[in-house]
Structure 1
Amino acid sequence: MAKRPGLSVYLASQKLRGRARAEARLRQGLAEGSEDSARAAERLGKPRRERPVGPLVWLHAGNEAEALGFPELIDRLIEERDDLNFLITTTGHDPEHPLEARLPKDVIMHYAPYGEGQAVEAFLTHWKPDLCLWAENRFEPELIDRVKKAGIPMILVDARVPDRSGWRWLPGIRRTLLRQFDRVLAGDETARDGLVSLGVPADRVEAIGFLQEGTAPLPCSQAERDMLAEDLAGRPVWLAAGAERAEFDLLAHVHQQIMRRSHRLLMVLAPRVPEDGPDLARRLEDEGWVVGLRSLEDEPEPETEIYIADLPDEMGLWYRLAPIAFMGGTLCGGPVRNPYEAAALGSAVLFGPATGPWRESFERLLEAGAARSVTNGATLARGVDHLLAPDQAARMAAAAWDITTNGAHATDRVVEIALDALDARGV
């Protein structure tokens, strides 16, 4: 298929700028801290390990947070074909590496090469992928064009209508790039219709939902859960999950406001740094609160107003017990937990504007009716108060169940299409 002038012009301009531009971009990224100095050479297409023997599936995303559906997808593919190898590339650098710990140990993590001819050529020559699953909503024209020329099947997953920013002077580039994909798997029907209107052949695009995010639901001791549920004896409970120090005073003020209308309400405050628990308990007690501290084996007694959950690795327990979860860090810009942890365990999600690396996850939950956004303490208080009505929290929990279940269906469909593509390639 002939390329539209927009893509041709873009690729020609990139070729003129060439290697020098890529190296300058890398130097700038290293200076700004937006690149990983230990793995900088990967941006120029230089690998840090050998290609494994056997079929190689290449999965690409914008950053590690956007790729959190990959672990489940990889697990499902391995169940079907244990001879497959996996390479994951990301455009962005995530210093906290939220994805790596969730992956099987043999999966290779690599930064995507810059869209410059020599870097892309070196990357493809070394890795020789048998299939590309592209999950980024922004496209790298040089990379996509060369993958297509190399005859590597490409499947666009979690697809939405791509952003036009930066390409307004190249009228046909989005349309041409979308046509490079052999299959386009849209996140919903609206995205499917938009992609078809951009020229994707209708028989190549289908709406399947978004990949299932995260791993299995966080574990907990069922005996501990049952005992605490009995202690709570039907009290209304809300959870501040992974709360930051900068949010402690605000959360206490919010709880005070809501307790004027719900006197038996308990706030479970789980600090992001568990070691903050004892000092926080002393401070709240000095302010007149009745406090329980998990690390001292306190129980949430009927008179307890704030229970500080300061033992590590117990979030699965608290999400199961609290029908409402505020995601800490989202009102102060600190580190934020994956909201799907809460949603998968039936907790309605409240979050502020600082979503960290989980922006798309929060947006999906919000659009599905499984989450509610707040902007400050006053709106957080109204949000918790609203969800204390059992029917409201149950409605959001049901929406969360729907989106996580749909994610499982989407993952199954991608597995089916990916295996068919590998079979058609003869690998």
Structure 2
Amino acid sequence: MNRHLYTLLLHLALPLIALRLALRARKAPAYARRIRERFSFGLPPLQPGGIWVHAVSVGESIAAAPMIRALQAHHPELPITVTCMTPTGSERIQALFGDSVQHCYLPYDLPWAAARFLERARPRLAVVMETELWPNHIHQCARRGIPVALANARLSERSARGYARFARLTAPMLAELSLLAVQTQTEAQRFLALGARPECVEVTGSIKFDLKIDADLPRRAADLRRQWQAEQRPVWIAASTHAGEDEIVLDAHRQLLASRPDALLILVPRHPERFGAVHELCLSQGMATRRRSTGEAVHAGDQVLLGDTMGELLFLYALADIAFVGGSLVANGGHNLLEPAALGKPVLSGPHLFNFLEIAAQLREAGALSEVENADQLAGRVATLLGEPDEAQRMSQAGLAVLQANQGALERLLAGLQRLL
């Protein structure tokens, strides 16, 4: 399939795209807003001539934040436009940067929509986070002489096989990229095999290792646990959970409560549209549950704190003694294991980590990551770490060492972007 056939099929799929938006809007009403932006109509005023950064959703927005701040510091004269595809990503961008960046949804990958967007933004450089590759957007940039960089690029073996099935579409698109700053040598080889130009591929590492933790965060977390009179309570967090995982986590917590009746679980669903359903699930399972969004203090009788706020995940990690990272007990591929590691927490996950294979391998090899497959194993591992503080401390130190050994990717990425500018 070449780009012209892809474009035709995308136009034919527009009714299905509209239906998908409507279905998503039933669960998350924010999807019904700003629809015109998705077709390059009703875009906000954009100051042209700067840098355009695309981060598809929340995870990519958070990963992009240090890069964007560095670009703002190095080039205060250049406007930065940050686009995304989801309402939660939009909320995160606005919370992180406020009015210091220009922001809108990225229009769908239709040639005329991409052209209208680029005519409005007229960037000097486009930076796409990770693997959000859109053939028409990239081609429209190439036609205008706008260099496109793929930043913090990753490509799993499964994704590479998928791209290879559409080589007539994929190879010309990758050849139009000016820089592929990839996380590992293995991924570099996959991009090269698919058609990327060798002179444009650089192994820079993962910028997620360059995570900077606000020094005030642990202090604020300790103060809140003191206010809750929970300094001695065992507290663990299950973060970024997906449908199908919450039941497993609550089962594990119920087992833990049998031996540690004062244990507190901080449960943080990945998607805000699930906050209400997960709250109902906790109550239906007889768990005394308090919602973080109420701002109420946690009481001694509370068994679960539902993390139903946005932008607080690092703070909630800081509140806990042990961290389980979700999206990994179901076949979702996992989420960022480095955030709890950077806060010095022993890290647990499920076995499905295909989105973070290299990071998981390094943490596992260092002894900073424990993987579990079910509620029994999760409960057992949490209980063991709570009962063996020396083991928990060893995992904590191992995670911090992995982070320290891999830092510098952001600096290498910025050097590549500077060359393109």
State TM-score, norm by structure 2: 0.71
User: Cα distance 1:200–1:216, how it changes in 2: closer, same or farther (>3 A)?
Assistant: same
User: Cα distance 1:106–1:43, how it changes in 2: closer, same or farther (>3 A)?
Assistant: same
User: Cα distance 1:169–1:52, how it changes in 2: closer, same or farther (>3 A)?
Assistant: same
**Matching of residues 18-29 of structure 1 within 5 Å:** 20-21=11-12, 23-29=14-20
CA distance in structure 2 between the partners assigned to 1:188 and 1:109 by the alignment:
30
CA distance in structure 2 between the partners assigned to 1:419 and 1:107 by the alignment:
19
* Amino acid across the alignment from 2:44: R
Q: Is the contact between residue 345 and residue 396 of structure 2 (CA under 8 Å) also seen in structure 1?
A: yes
Q: CA deviation at 1:126?
A: 1.4
User: Cα distance 1:408–1:72, how it changes in 2: closer, same or farther (>3 A)?
Assistant: farther
User: Cα distance 1:271–1:406, how it changes in 2: closer, same or farther (>3 A)?
Assistant: same
Q: Is the contact between residue 160 and residue 195 of structure 1 (CA under 8 Å) also seen in structure 2?
A: no
Residue 393, structure 1, aligned to residue 385, structure 2: no
Secondary structure at the counterpart of residue 12 of structure 2: helix
CA distance in structure 1 between the partners assigned to 2:405 and 2:78 by the alignment:
25
User: Cα distance 1:69–1:170, how it changes in 2: closer, same or farther (>3 A)?
Assistant: closer
Which stretch of structure 1 is more off in the superposition, 407-416 or 130-139?
407-416
Equivalent position of 1:186 in the other structure: 182
Q: Is the contact between residue 39 and residue 107 of structure 2 (CA under 8 Å) also seen in structure 1?
A: yes
CA distance in structure 1 between the partners assigned to 2:85 and 2:362 by the alignment:
27
User: Cα distance 1:202–1:308, how it changes in 2: closer, same or farther (>3 A)?
Assistant: same
Equivalent position of 1:347 in the other structure: 345
Number of aligned residue pairs: give it.
Answer: 381
Equivalent position of 1:156 in the other structure: 150
Equivalent position of 1:49 in the other structure: 44
Which stretch of structure 1 is more off in the superposition, 24-33 or 57-66?
24-33
Equivalent position of 1:32 in the other structure: 23
Residue 384, structure 1, aligned to residue 382, structure 2: yes
Equivalent position of 2:292 in the other structure: none
CA distance in structure 1 between the partners assigned to 2:12 and 2:347 by the alignment:
44
CA distance in structure 1 between the partners assigned to 2:136 and 2:376 by the alignment:
48
User: Cα distance 1:392–1:365, how it changes in 2: closer, same or farther (>3 A)?
Assistant: farther
CA distance in structure 1 between the partners assigned to 2:369 and 2:212 by the alignment:
20
* Amino acid across the alignment from 2:117: F
Which stretch of structure 1 is more off in the superposition, 193-202 or 38-47?
193-202
Q: CA deviation at 1:332?
A: 9.8
Secondary structure at the counterpart of residue 192 of structure 1: helix
CA distance in structure 2 between the partners assigned to 1:223 and 1:65 by the alignment:
23
* Amino acid across the alignment from 2:18: R
Which stretch of structure 1 is more off in the superposition, 363-372 or 186-195?
363-372
Q: CA deviation at 1:208?
A: 1.6
1:337-374 per-position Cα deviation (integer Å, ceiling 9, x unaligned): 9755422211022245899xxx84x6665333244443
Q: CA deviation at 1:189?
A: 2.3
RMSD of aligned C-alpha atoms? 4.5
Secondary structure at the counterpart of residue 181 of structure 1: coil
Residue 78, structure 1, aligned to residue 72, structure 2: yes
* Amino acid across the alignment from 1:421: L
1:49-106 per-position Cα deviation (integer Å, ceiling 9, x unaligned): 11215x4111123333223211111111122221121122234554884443222423
Q: Is the contact between residue 237 and residue 266 of structure 1 (CA under 8 Å) also seen in structure 2?
A: yes
User: Cα distance 1:96–1:74, how it changes in 2: closer, same or farther (>3 A)?
Assistant: closer
Secondary structure at the counterpart of residue 52 of structure 1: coil
Secondary structure at the counterpart of residue 146 of structure 1: helix
Secondary structure at the counterpart of residue 323 of structure 2: strand
1:26-67 per-position Cα deviation (integer Å, ceiling 9, x unaligned): 4223332268322212222225211215x4111123333223
- Give the share of equivalent positions with the same residue, in percent: 22
- Structure with the higher fraction of residues in helix conformation: 2
1:103-139 per-position Cα deviation (integer Å, ceiling 9, x unaligned): 2423223222222221121111111111011224242
Q: CA deviation at 1:220?
A: 4.2
State TM-score, norm by structure 1: 0.70
Q: CA deviation at 1:268?
A: 3.6
User: Cα distance 1:103–1:16, how it changes in 2: closer, same or farther (>3 A)?
Assistant: same
Equivalent position of 2:291 in the other structure: none
2:265 is aligned, of 266, 269, 280, to: 269
CA distance in structure 1 between the partners assigned to 2:217 and 2:411 by the alignment:
24
User: Cα distance 1:21–1:160, how it changes in 2: closer, same or farther (>3 A)?
Assistant: same
Which stretch of structure 1 is more off in the superposition, 60-69 or 247-256?
247-256
2:200 is aligned, of 193, 198, 204, to: 204
Residue 171, structure 1, aligned to residue 137, structure 2: no
Residue 366, structure 1, aligned to residue 350, structure 2: no
**Matching of residues 107-122 of structure 1 within 5 Å:** 107-122=101-116
Q: Is the contact between residue 65 and residue 99 of structure 1 (CA under 8 Å) also seen in structure 2?
A: no
Q: Unpaired segments of 5 or more residues in structure 2?
A: 269-274, 289-294
Q: Unpaired segments of 5 or more residues in structure 1?
A: 1-8, 286-293, 423-427
CA distance in structure 1 between the partners assigned to 2:131 and 2:319 by the alignment:
36
CA distance in structure 2 between the partners assigned to 1:215 and 1:238 by the alignment:
24
Which stretch of structure 1 is more off in the superposition, 366-375 or 311-320?
311-320
Q: Is the contact between residue 267 and residue 307 of structure 2 (CA under 8 Å) also seen in structure 1?
A: no
Equivalent position of 1:325 in the other structure: 323
CA distance in structure 2 between the partners assigned to 1:199 and 1:391 by the alignment:
49
CA distance in structure 2 between the partners assigned to 1:198 and 1:192 by the alignment:
10
Q: CA deviation at 1:310?
A: 8.6
Residue 13, structure 1, aligned to residue 13, structure 2: no
Equivalent position of 1:239 in the other structure: 236
* Amino acid across the alignment from 1:71: A
